[in-house]
Structure 1
Amino acid sequence: MLIPALDLINGEVVRLQQGDFARQTTFASDPLPIAEAYAAAGATWLHVVDLDGARDPQQRQIATLQRLAAKLPMKLQVGGGIRQRSDLEQLFDSGIQRVVIGSLAVKEPDLVAAWLEDFGSEAIVLSLDVSIAADGNAYVATHGWQETSELTLQQAIERFLPHGLRHVLCTDIAKDGMLGGYNLELYQRLKRDYPQLVIQASGGAAKLDDLRQLRAFGCDSAILGKALLTGKFTLEEAFACWQDA
């Protein structure tokens, strides 16, 4: 599955380079026309990052999210600043199908494990953004990539497997927004070690061959953001490539 992505600040479509708010590019004042075009191209899911909510949960762009959920034929998975149970309930009540949880999974794993059991495996995506260290290990970063924990990617995943973890969105921070291709070794290792998980690869797609390589070893999904917004390829071309790979 290919999942187009939109990052939002104040209702506008933006992209940040490597999570840096000082390196922001604004692409559109309204996300709806772009999302509608993605739906017309065949997308069944839309990945939305609420960057306002990530910085301050009180500033979550609920009105924009509700509008997208009401007007789009796609299902939505939304992340950004999930801190407490009421955040999930608010999003689900707004028509969101899946909530993406990142930093909290490192800081309060027991809480997130309980949510997995309460809301179910299909309602939560675990977002693990990683930095690859000199020793080859992938360490999970938190707080908008401003901090790197001592928790490895493997440790993070295995913490939640007993609680029904199914969907994992993994981003190599060094690749995100740089249009330099995916960290293929990272996703190959994830699919080898955890075949039961649905892996969403994120960060780095620049050309169709990047998708072919990802699909070749059975990666389940790819998040497509900057490559679509900057016209590296169209979503229609991406679907054709993904299906042929």
Structure 2
Amino acid sequence: MIIPALDLMNGNIVRLYQGCFHKQRIYSNNPLLYLEKYFQQGAKIIHLVDLEGAKNPTNRQIHLLHKLLRANQHNNLQIGGGIRSTKDIADLLKLGAKRVVFSSQGIKNPYKTKKWFEYFGSESLVLAIDIRMNSTGTNNVVINGWQTNTTTTLQEIIEQYHNIGLKHVLCTDISKDGTLTGSNTILYQTICKTWPDIKFQSSGGIKNLDEIHKLRDTGVTSIIIGRALLEEKFTISEAISCWQNA
């Protein structure tokens, strides 16, 4: 399906360029307005990212997230950014989040993360894997709001959780994020073929409707789209129709 994305910083909707916090553009100071507009246009799920929390978990925009959850009647929000504890997840799910997205803890604290799958179930959790492709072709995972490089590869982190019921994975090639330069279709073809039982969400680089056709063919189950929708390159209904007819 098509999943619109809203990245939140200081209460505003913003987009970063290739994950750089100093390369951001503000689109609106009214996230609630965009939530309602996207649902009215046909979105079934909306992806929210607390960039403040991703950068520094002590600065999570808790009040804003709670406000959006309480005001949203659709109960179809997927929320991530700065998730560090069991309480973080429990609070968001209790308020009506459909799924909670985590990233850094999957690398830094696998024991605790595996307990989350046991406690909350795989349907309520999304493992976000953000990668930086290097010159040798290796895709290393980056954490802490894309500020910290690791030596862990995409393949290693998926295998670590695959056998305990990992179901939803959001994979982003950060060199594509916010660029409107096209998606890394080869990456998605590879991972969808390797782990056909995992529901992969692609993210980063969508520039036009042709990209949706290409990504649907890779085997991903969802496409997250941010900047292209904010800049009205196409509408949500057009994207949904393209996905359905791909």
**TM tier, shorter chain?**
over 0.9
The equivalences for 1:105-144 within 5 A come to 105-144=106-145
Q: Which residue identity lines up with residue 185 of structure 1 in the other structure?
A: I
Deviation at 1:74, TM superposition (A): 4.7
Asked whether the equivalents of residues 55 and 147 of structure 2 are also in contact (C-alpha less than 8 Å), the reply is no
- 1:221-243 CA-to-partner distances (Å, cap 9, x unmatched) read 00010110011111111111111
- Structure 1 CA distance, aligned partners of 2:103 and 2:156? 14
- In the alignment, structure 1 residue 12 sits paired with structure 2 residue 12: yes
Q: Which residue identity lines up with residue 27 of structure 2 in the other structure?
A: F
The DSSP-based 3-state class of the residue aligned with 2:141 is strand
Asked whether the equivalents of residues 65 and 94 of structure 1 are also in contact (C-alpha less than 8 Å), the reply is no
- Structure 2 CA distance, aligned partners of 1:152 and 1:131? 10
Aligned residue number for residue 194 of structure 1: 195
Aligned residue number for residue 52 of structure 2: 52
- % identical aligned pairs: 46
- 1:59-95 CA-to-partner distances (Å, cap 9, x unmatched) read 3222222232233325111111111112112212222
Aligned residue number for residue 69 of structure 1: 69
Deviation at 1:173, TM superposition (A): 0.9
The equivalences for 1:84-123 within 5 A come to 84-123=85-124
Asked whether the equivalents of residues 116 and 164 of structure 1 are also in contact (C-alpha less than 8 Å), the reply is yes
Q: How large is the Cα RMSD of the aligned pairs?
A: 1.3
Aligned residue number for residue 230 of structure 1: 231
- Structure 2 CA distance, aligned partners of 1:193 and 1:218? 11
- Structure 2 CA distance, aligned partners of 1:44 and 1:216? 21
The DSSP-based 3-state class of the residue aligned with 1:54 is helix
- Structure 2 CA distance, aligned partners of 1:201 and 1:224? 9
The equivalences for 1:146-157 within 5 A come to 146-157=147-158
- Structure 2 CA distance, aligned partners of 1:152 and 1:61? 30
Deviation at 1:21, TM superposition (A): 1.4
- Which range moves more in the overlay, 66-75 or 125-134? 66-75
- Structure 2 CA distance, aligned partners of 1:60 and 1:144? 12
Asked whether the equivalents of residues 51 and 145 of structure 2 are also in contact (C-alpha less than 8 Å), the reply is no
Q: Which runs of no fewer than 5 residues in structure 1 stay unpaired?
A: none
Aligned residue number for residue 242 of structure 2: 241
- Structure 1 CA distance, aligned partners of 2:199 and 2:189? 13
- Structure 2 CA distance, aligned partners of 1:99 and 1:219? 19
The equivalences for 1:144-183 within 5 A come to 144-183=145-184
**Matched residue count:** 245
Q: Which runs of no fewer than 5 residues in structure 2 stay unpaired?
A: none
- Structure 1 CA distance, aligned partners of 2:59 and 2:143? 19
- 1:6-49 CA-to-partner distances (Å, cap 9, x unmatched) read 01112211111122111111101111111111101111111000
Distance 1:103 1:225, change over 3 A: same
- 1:96-143 CA-to-partner distances (Å, cap 9, x unmatched) read 121111111111111111111111001110000011223322111112
Asked whether the equivalents of residues 177 and 203 of structure 2 are also in contact (C-alpha less than 8 Å), the reply is yes
- Structure 2 CA distance, aligned partners of 1:111 and 1:74? 27
- Structure 2 CA distance, aligned partners of 1:93 and 1:55? 24
TM-score where L is the length of structure 2 = 0.95
